[in-house]
């Protein structure tokens, strides 16, 4: 368990891992009720009767069957000084502390490991992105005009399934016209018209690892303002893709794209950060934003997704998934980024 060994190097005391994504990352066990106690000489995996049979397949752990209320039982049975993940709900923290344990908050220990992908993880991410490329290519043959946003979203789901996706990374965004001005718009009942911009944000999972692409399409001739905004977003993304590398801060990465937007007539209209980490979760470390405290490392996989949003009118976003390298990036997203017209 190389991941466990790497975690042990960071520990000052045993760590109780309760974030289920972190449990999966460290030992491969995917469950809705589990905890992992990582000590220097052993690893204990706790779960209840419903999952105990599946847990027997996990190697190099001491398996312990517990009650369904795992935290309550651990509060009664564990002793001494133990670190806990700060994402632990407060009530569960109180349960642990009330049992006499010396509990110490520890933040981001496993997440920092997850941020740097190994080759097995990169292989899964490349596969998820390859499926997404094929799906977006087939989406060009889907009818947009006169149909509801949610109908296009259903077609997109079918295409992902046909191309081999194991599941969907998140609820797809299909935002047409004014709906697209909301970065996290839900596909709704609005019918897509002619001469509009349509923002599509979608991704799939392979082996638990997620892709996350956005492309903005047109449904016919656009006004000059929409075309200019698209060009600015494309230039902003090119600037970021050309400048991202290991050692760059998340703030400086964000600035690469934001400077292009803010030097245009669309100043101040990129209302979110440039990107975020991808992996077992769609949003994980590191962050690329004006508020980021992260520094990029080789092996990070991040989105690069500048945008422009004009409330009540339209939105534009172009998003790729990239691997950070010492001297640049590997772009996992192969689907075209010119302004494609769909029917």
Q: What is the pLDDT of residues 156-202, one digit of tens each?
A: 999 999 999 999 999 999 999 999 999 999 999 999 999 999 999 99
Quick check: is 343 in a domain?
A: no
192 shares its domain with 288: yes
What are the structure tokens assigned to 224, written together? 């000059």
pLDDT at 1 over 70: no
10 shares its domain with 131: no
Q: Torsions phi, psi of 195, nearest 5?
A: 75, 35
Q: Provide the CATH number for the domain around residue 57.
A: 3.40.350.10
125 shares its domain with 93: no
189 shares its domain with 324: yes
Please report the pLDDT score of residue 98 as a whole number: 87
d(CA 233, CA 95): 49
3-state secondary structure 34-77: EEEEECCCCEEEEECHHHHHHHCCCCCCEEEECCCCHHHHHHHH
87 shares its domain with 123: no
- Please report which helix (H) or strand (E) contains residue 225, including its range: helix 224-243
Please report the pLDDT score of residue 9 as a whole number: 95
Quick check: is 104 in a domain?
A: yes
Q: What is the pLDDT of residues 271-303, one digit of tens each?
A: 999 999 999 999 999 999 999 999 999 999 999
Query: What is the pLDDT confidence band of residue 204, given thresholds at 50, 70 and 90?
Result: very high
Q: What is the pLDDT of residues 225-249, one digit of tens each?
A: 999 999 999 999 999 999 999 999 9
Using alpha carbons, select from 42, 90, 89, 97 the residue that is nearest to residue 64. Answer: 42
**Within a 10 A sphere around the Cβ of 171, how many other Cβ atoms?**
12
Q: Percentage of residues in the chain with pLDDT exceeding 70? A: 100
123 shares its domain with 251: yes
Residue 341 burial (C-beta neighbours within 10 Å; 0-12, 13-18, 19+):
middle
Quick check: is 177 in a domain?
A: yes
Largest CA distance in the chain: 69
To which residue do tokens 């692409």 refer?
213
Q: Are strands 43-47 and 62-65 parallel, antiparallel or unpaired?
A: parallel
pLDDT at 99 over 90: no
Residue 236 burial (C-beta neighbours within 10 Å; 0-12, 13-18, 19+):
buried
- Quote the Cα angle for 68-73-77, to 5°: 150
Contact present, 227 and 327 (Cβ < 8 Å): no
Q: What is the pLDDT of residues 53-82, one digit of tens each?
A: 999 999 999 999 999 999 999 999 999 999
Q: Percentage of residues in the chain with pLDDT exceeding 90? A: 95
Please report the pLDDT score of residue 100 as a whole number: 83
Sign of the C-alpha dihedral computed for residues 114, 115, 116 and 118 taken in this order: positive
Question: What single-letter DSSP state applies at residue 207?
Answer: T
Please report the pLDDT score of residue 63 as a whole number: 96
d(CA 251, CA 295): 9
d(CA 213, CA 290): 21
79 shares its domain with 138: no
Average pLDDT over residues 318-322: 98
Contact present, 3 and 70 (Cβ < 8 Å): no
Please report the pLDDT score of residue 174 as a whole number: 97
d(CA 187, CA 149): 5
98 shares its domain with 126: no
Q: Residue 298: CB partners within 8 Å, gap ≥ 6?
A: 116, 246, 324, 325, 326
Quick check: is 95 in a domain?
A: yes
Residue 186 burial (C-beta neighbours within 10 Å; 0-12, 13-18, 19+):
middle
Total of domains in the chain: 2
Domain end residue (candidates: 94, 114, 134): 114
Q: Which domain holds residue 22?
A: 2-114
d(CA 254, CA 32): 35
170 shares its domain with 230: yes
Query: What is the pLDDT confidence band of residue 333, given thresholds at 50, 70 and 90?
Result: very high
Average pLDDT over residues 310-331: 97
Domain end residue (candidates: 82, 114, 146): 114
109 shares its domain with 43: yes
289 shares its domain with 259: yes
Domain end residue (candidates: 95, 114, 133): 114
Question: What single-letter DSSP state applies at residue 245?
Answer: -
What are the structure tokens assigned to 301, written together? 């996989």
State the number of CA atoms in the 13 A half-sphere of 117 facing the CB.
Answer: 26
What are the structure tokens assigned to 297, written together? 């490392």
Quick check: is 341 in a domain?
A: no
Q: Provide the CATH number for the domain around residue 181.
A: 3.90.230.10
Quick check: is 194 in a domain?
A: yes
d(CA 269, CA 309): 6
Helix axes 90-98, 70-77, angle to 10 degrees: 20
47 shares its domain with 184: no
Quick check: is 342 in a domain?
A: no
Quick check: is 340 in a domain?
A: no
């Amino acid at each position: 368990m190389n991941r466990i060994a790497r975690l042990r190097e960071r520990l000052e005391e045993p760590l109780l891992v309760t974030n289920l994504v972190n449990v999966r990352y460290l030992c491969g066990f995917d469950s809705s009720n589990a905890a992992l106690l990582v000590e220097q000489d052993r690893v204990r995996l706790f779960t209840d009767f419903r999952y105990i049979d599946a847990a027997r397949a996990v190697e190099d752990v001491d398996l312990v069957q517990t009650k369904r209320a795992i935290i309550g039982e651990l509060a009664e049975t564990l002793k001494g000084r133990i670190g806990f993940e700060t994402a632990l709900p407060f009530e569960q923290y109180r349960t642990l502390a009330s049992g006499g344990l010396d509990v110490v908050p520890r933040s981001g220990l496993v997440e920092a490991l997850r941020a740097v992908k190994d080759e097995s993880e990169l292989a899964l991410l490349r596969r998820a992105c390859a499926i997404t490329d094929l799906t977006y290519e087939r989406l060009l043959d889907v009818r947009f005009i006169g149909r509801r946003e949610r109908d296009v979203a259903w077609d997109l789901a079918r295409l992902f399934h046909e191309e081999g996706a194991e599941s969907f990374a998140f609820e797809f965004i299909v935002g047409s016209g004014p709906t697209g001005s909301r970065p996290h718009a839900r596909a709704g009942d609005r019918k897509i018209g002619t001469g509009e911009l349509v923002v599509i944000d979608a991704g799939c999972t392979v082996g638990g690892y997620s892709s996350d692409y956005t492309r903005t399409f047109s449904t016919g001739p656009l006004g000059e303002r929409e075309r200019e905004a698209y060009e600015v977003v494309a230039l902003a993304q090119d600037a970021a893709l050309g400048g991202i590398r290991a050692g760059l801060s998340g703030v400086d990465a964000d600035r690469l794209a934001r400077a292009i937007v803010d030097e245009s007539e669309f100043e101040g209209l990129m209302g979110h950060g440039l990107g975020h980490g991808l992996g077992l979760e769609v949003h994980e470390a590191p962050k690329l934003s004006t508020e980021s405290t992260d520094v990029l490392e080789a092996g990070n996989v991040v989105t690069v997704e500048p945008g422009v949003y004009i409330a009540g009118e339209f939105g534009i976003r172009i998003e790729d998934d990239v691997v950070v390298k010492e001297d640049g990036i590997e772009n996992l997203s192969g689907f075209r980024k010119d302004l494609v017209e769909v029917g």
